[in-house]
Amino acid sequence: MQEVEGSEVSCEQIHQWLAAANAQRQANVELGLNLASLAWDAARLQGYLAEHLEAGCLRAFFLFRRGEMQEMLAASHKLLPMLREQGSTPRLCELLRWMAFAAADLGLFEEALASVNESLARARELGDKRLIAVALNAVGACLERMGDPWQAERLMNEAAALLGEAASDYERMVSHNNLATVALGMFNLLRHSEQAEHQRERKEALQRGSHHAQAVRPHALALGESYLLALSDANGAEILLHQGELAAAQALLKGALANAHEFGYVALIWRMRCTEAEIALAQDEAEQAMRVLSEVLTESAGRAKANIAMRLHHAAYRACKRLGRIEAALGHLECYQGLERERSVTQLMAQARFFFSRMEAERALDLAPASSSPVSRPAAEEDESLLRDPLTGLGNLRCMAARMPGLIRRAEQEGGALTLALIDVDRFKSINEKHGSAVADRVLQELAQMLRDNTRGSDLLLRWAGEEFLVVLPDTVADRAFEVCERLRQAVECFPWSQLAPELDVTLSIGLANAPPYATDLLVARAESAMYRAKYLGRNRVALA
């Protein structure tokens, strides 16, 4: 890479490098990375913040597409504090999504979930439905890598439904591509099962995966999206292999490999060459398969993601076994099994942390003893006040952190029902602007009382954020929760709001999500997806995830 002293570089030169790097986004990854790195270093030395941020995002983008996930995360961590200082922006949401994918691919699930949760929170703050949908899609991708493609598929379908017909070609392409990857993950989990139900399910997974992979192509071609075209064709070739369509798989893979080589998608090339070797094995060409695998194992040593390394060693085990190279076969089998055990432990630990750690940590923090400042009220009363929203008297986020872990644990231990409802006041901003903040506050207070009137004492009622309420209904199946929320919706619709202000009209959009899974973050994300679907369908309704 060209080296230039930052003090010798003009702002115009930095802009030229950035323009040239952007021109390589769908072309030469290596060249784009070099140009972005030049701009990054020069902008940093000269204090050009906007150019520095743009160059940093480009570096992360190119490293991600090369498959250099460790380097991508390292570069992103240098960039992230500066982007956060700019507040919530689409650029920050995008970087956090990339970081989530990279961390999940490396098995760093805690970091992946933290990144994708922040991306989702930033998208909510921006109020951008499209950013929310792609963030939900990324949550699903993390879940697939954590070993739960079923919940991943459900969440991705909900994210797609959130946008519906309003989805752009790019959003449809991303959704179909991720769903194809999830379907492959589902097949691989069921691949060796002899149960009839699992055999049927994996066949259906391949059919869905094939549909989604094919659906990516026209969008990718129209948008000139070379990376997702190569990725979807890699998925398609792998699916065709598992369906026994070897000639079709080989033809599709040949074009995808040429595409990946042209643009420098290194990690994707390793994955596709593994598929190439597996096709050769299926054609009884074990020698050819082993030649390919040996090349890729040598090139990718210490660099390949765990899932690719597992595939490579398993295919090499099969090839060596067919060739009678028993000692080599056992060596590859041991490598495969070691990686599989490590992945399983990492997934289980991540799932455990995902289910419990976040809420338990918040509970410990929020229930810690207060400072030694003078106390003017009884301690119990003061502690209770800390858990209440002062305007509505409902629970606040501290209350949720205190009570939700216990509700989740009990439901999971007993295998019981639990449903969560996210309630949003339709067009609340317009109410505030038209009638004033005093009337808007009265609306929230009336709604809080109507919530109390239409729920049980055992239900957890929370003011979630601004005009949003969260209701947790223990021991309540989804159908029953739907009835409760529909009754509440009708009560709100029929309430004489004009008594508070002339021409005041209030309605609710409500999203429901039920356990399992017994995971607060996922339940909230699914309820939010359902709530946005209710709004998309016309507001003033209840939608079930």
d(CA 393, CA 496): 22
Q: How many helices (H) and strands (E) does the chain have?
A: 23, 5
DSSP state of 389: -
Q: Which two tokens stand for residue 113?
A: 């979930």
Q: 427: alpha, beta or left, given left = phi > 0 and alpha = psi -120 to 50?
A: left
DSSP state of 353: I
d(CA 186, CA 239): 12
Section 303-315 average pLDDT: 87
With 0-12 / 13-18 / 19 or more C-beta atoms within 10 angstroms meaning exposed / middle / buried, residue 20 is: middle
- Identify the pLDDT of residue 364: 33
Section 516-529 average pLDDT: 85
Q: Across the chain, what does the average pLDDT equal?
A: 87
In the numeric block, the tokens 């190569």 are attached to 230
- Check whether 164 has a pLDDT greater than 90: no
DSSP state of 497: G
pLDDT (tens digit per residue) in 182-237: 999 899 888 888 888 888 989 999 999 999 999 999 999 999 899 999 999 999 99
- Identify the pLDDT of residue 383: 54
Domain 382-544: give its CATH superfamily. Answer: Reverse transcriptase/Diguanylate cyclase domain (3.30.70.270)
With 0-12 / 13-18 / 19 or more C-beta atoms within 10 angstroms meaning exposed / middle / buried, residue 293 is: buried
Question: By the 8 A CB rule, do 432 and 480 touch?
Answer: no
pLDDT (tens digit per residue) in 440-482: 999 999 999 999 988 888 899 999 888 999 999 998 988 889 9
CA distance readout (Å), 544 to 152, 164, 421, 482, 514 = 17, 16, 9, 8, 9
d(CA 540, CA 505): 11
- Identify the pLDDT of residue 361: 34
DSSP state of 191: T
d(CA 317, CA 455): 59
d(CA 205, CA 235): 13
d(CA 93, CA 115): 9
- Identify the pLDDT of residue 519: 82
With 0-12 / 13-18 / 19 or more C-beta atoms within 10 angstroms meaning exposed / middle / buried, residue 397 is: middle
d(CA 272, CA 227): 13
Half-sphere exposure of 295 (CA within 13 A, CB side): 13
DSSP state of 305: -
Choose among 292, 304, 288: nearest CA to 336: 304
- Check whether 485 has a pLDDT greater than 70: yes
Q: How far is CA 471 from the centre of its chain?
A: 24
**Whole-number percent of the chain with pLDDT over 90:** 53
d(CA 486, CA 64): 45
CA distance readout (Å), 239 to 181, 217, 233, 250, 470 = 10, 15, 10, 11, 41
Task: Return the minimum-mean-pLDDT range out of 124-138, 178-192, 250-264.
Answer: 124-138
- Identify the pLDDT of residue 327: 96
Helices 169-190/196-223 angle, 10° precision: 150
Q: Which two tokens stand for residue 378?
A: 């009884």
DSSP state of 460: E
Choose among 531, 479, 418, 438: nearest CA to 132: 531
Question: By the 8 A CB rule, do 182 and 140 touch?
Answer: yes
d(CA 340, CA 337): 5
Question: By the 8 A CB rule, do 428 and 492 touch?
Answer: no
- Identify the pLDDT of residue 331: 96
Helix/strand/coil for 420: strand
Section 14-27 average pLDDT: 93
Alpha helices in 24-68 (DSSP H): 29-46, 49-66
What are the residues facing 172 on neighbouring strands? none
d(CA 207, CA 201): 10
Choose among 523, 545, 515: nearest CA to 533: 545
SS3 string of 193-245? Answer: CCCHHHHHHHHHHHHHHHHHHHHHHHHHHHHCCHHHHHHHHHHHHHHHHHCCC
Helix/strand/coil for 325: coil
Question: By the 8 A CB rule, do 469 and 462 touch?
Answer: yes
**Comma-separated ranges of CATH 3.30.70.270 domains in the chain:** 382-544
Alpha helices in 283-415 (DSSP H): 286-300, 306-322, 326-352, 358-366, 379-386, 397-414
In this structure, the number of other CB atoms found within 10 A of the CB of residue 384 comes to 12
- Check whether 397 has a pLDDT greater than 60: yes
- What is the rounded (10 degree) CA torsion for 312, 313, 315, 319? 130
Q: 235: alpha, beta or left, given left = phi > 0 and alpha = psi -120 to 50?
A: alpha
Section 498-506 average pLDDT: 93
